[in-house]
Amino acid sequence: MKKTIKIPKKKFKIYNPKLKEECGVFGVSNNKDSAALTALGLHALQHRGQEGCGIVTFDGKKYYSEKRFGLVGDNFNKEKVLNSLPGDYAIGHNRYSTTGENTLRNIQPFFADTNAGGIGVAHNGNLTNSITLRNRLVQDGAIFHTTSDTETIVQLIAKSKRNKTIDKVIDAIFQIQGGYALVMLTQNTLIGVRDPHGIRPLVIGKIKDSYVFASETCALDIIGAKYIRDVENGEVVYIENNELKSIKPFPARKVRPCVFEYIYFARPDSLLNGKSAYEHRKQFGIELAKENKIKADIVVPVPDSGNAAALGFAQHLGINFELGLIRNHYVGRTFIEPSQKIRSLGVKLKLNANQSTIKDKIIILIDDSLVRGTTSHKIVKMLYDAGAKEVHVKIACPEIRFPDFYGVDTPTKKELLAANKTNDEICEYIGAKSLDFLSLEGVYRAMGFNKRDNNYPQLTDHYFTGEYPVKPIDELGDDKITQLSLLSTASNN
């Protein structure tokens, strides 16, 4: 009899309309302060997940684990907690739960004992064949303790018949598909894995004699580690006897990193392809200005996501850049259990119009992306209510028309505004005087690529094109897409 997976009911959260990258991973080898360094690294990666965090360490004999709800700084800031995590090797994980159970059992890193010894796994991304694999494993007698597809990876490693742990890992990753970055810890060996297309990011650093793996370079900076290189697409890198070793088990494929790492997910100071995310975003704004020359009094960003693009736009056209919206940085995702009346305040919990700056002004409002449009509608109305003469909205990426299956919390296609409305209809919906998106060609120009050359696509840009580098095996129509999205986003956090 075929078993089915029950999707837990969604718990209440303050709505966040942005795309959400689900988690950050970190690992360090051969360092007596491994737990403290991992806590610092996770703190630098806090933007990738705020609902839970965990650290697993190994002292040469035993593994130790601490998992907590909430922010890294609220949980791993005491000497007592860090002293409970002895050992020279550690891995850590930040969780961004989007649906599903918000329980400790879903917080990573996961740990399991196998016939080759213990192994801890921290995972960023989604598997596009997770339901298929999970059902097969359950039918073979596997018992799952979480709703996470990361546990599927652990089960595959445990069931492998290979002798060496590194071979078990390779055996497992040959069976999984999707976009993923893995950091694993097993008996004085730190392992990093990146999916064959390099969709999800993973970098290598070094501090003295210790190697470090992290989702972004900003996590290296905070501990004073030197950036060495990115883990290549389809590469398995492991630190054994304090030496960095590499295996490339997959056939060679073109690297295709997720375009939204450049547009939104990565912290502005993190390096992507040799340049900071800030520089890339500023260049998106410049290309947007080239495509949309317009007369206005001021350029206003939607903070903080639109800041760099708005600055590039303003500088290119010689228009004043102003902070016409002020952000309250102290509103968390859970904030309070508000009444409907309080919830109806919506975006005002986080943003407020700077009236003296925008009154009687023709405004160009810049944001990095537009998903459902509900927040854009509220922001435009807020600016008009504060006395703006005209509001022209410019978006520093193309229209998002397709959902994601590789570790990004996107709505189903029917919820994506640009998938269901024309540009004029979207403009009318958000209440703007005009609306323009950066073209896909503009995105590629900004990054030094040519969309029309023979190497296209250089990025995973399915959000705009519908061209998926890895097809979801679990996809069986719209209802199955929804289930896949729910299971995946409930898990890899």
297 marked as binding residue: no
Sign (positive or negative) of CA dihedral 49, 53, 59, 64: negative
Kindly tell me the burial class for residue 390, based on how many C-beta atoms sit within 10 Å of its own C-beta (0-12, 13-18, 19 or more): middle
* Residues 382 and 351: beta-carbon distance below 8 Å: yes
* Residues 219 and 41: beta-carbon distance below 8 Å: yes
Kindly tell me the burial class for residue 147, based on how many C-beta atoms sit within 10 Å of its own C-beta (0-12, 13-18, 19 or more): buried
Catalytic residue among 23, 53, 218, 258: 23
Query: β-strand 390-395 against 434-437: which pairing, if any?
Result: parallel
Cα→Cα distances 405→176, 178, 180, 259, 368, Å: 13, 7, 11, 14, 21
Kindly tell me the burial class for residue 252, based on how many C-beta atoms sit within 10 Å of its own C-beta (0-12, 13-18, 19 or more): exposed
List the structure tokens of 325. Answer: 């919206």
270 marked as binding residue: no
Residue 163 and residue 169: Cα distance in Å, rounded? 11
Residue 300 and residue 432: Cα distance in Å, rounded? 14
Q: Is 368 helix (H, G, I), strand (E, B) or coil?
A: coil
- Nearest alpha carbon to residue 45 among 124, 111, 105, 99: 124
Note if 23 is an active site residue. yes
**What values do phi and psi take at 48, rounded to 5?**
-90, -5
209 marked as binding residue: no
Kindly tell me the burial class for residue 334, based on how many C-beta atoms sit within 10 Å of its own C-beta (0-12, 13-18, 19 or more): middle
Task: Compute how many other C-beta atoms are within 10 angstroms of the C-beta atom of residue 171.
Answer: 16
Residues in CB range of 315: below 8 A, 6 or more apart: 286, 321
Element containing residue 371 per DSSP (H, E): none
Residue 377 and residue 385: Cα distance in Å, rounded? 12
Residue 176 and residue 199: Cα distance in Å, rounded? 14
List the structure tokens of 217. Answer: 């370079």
Residue 216 and residue 45: Cα distance in Å, rounded? 7
Q: Is 296 helix (H, G, I), strand (E, B) or coil?
A: coil
Binding residues for Mg(2+): 305, 367-368
The catalytic site residues sit at 23
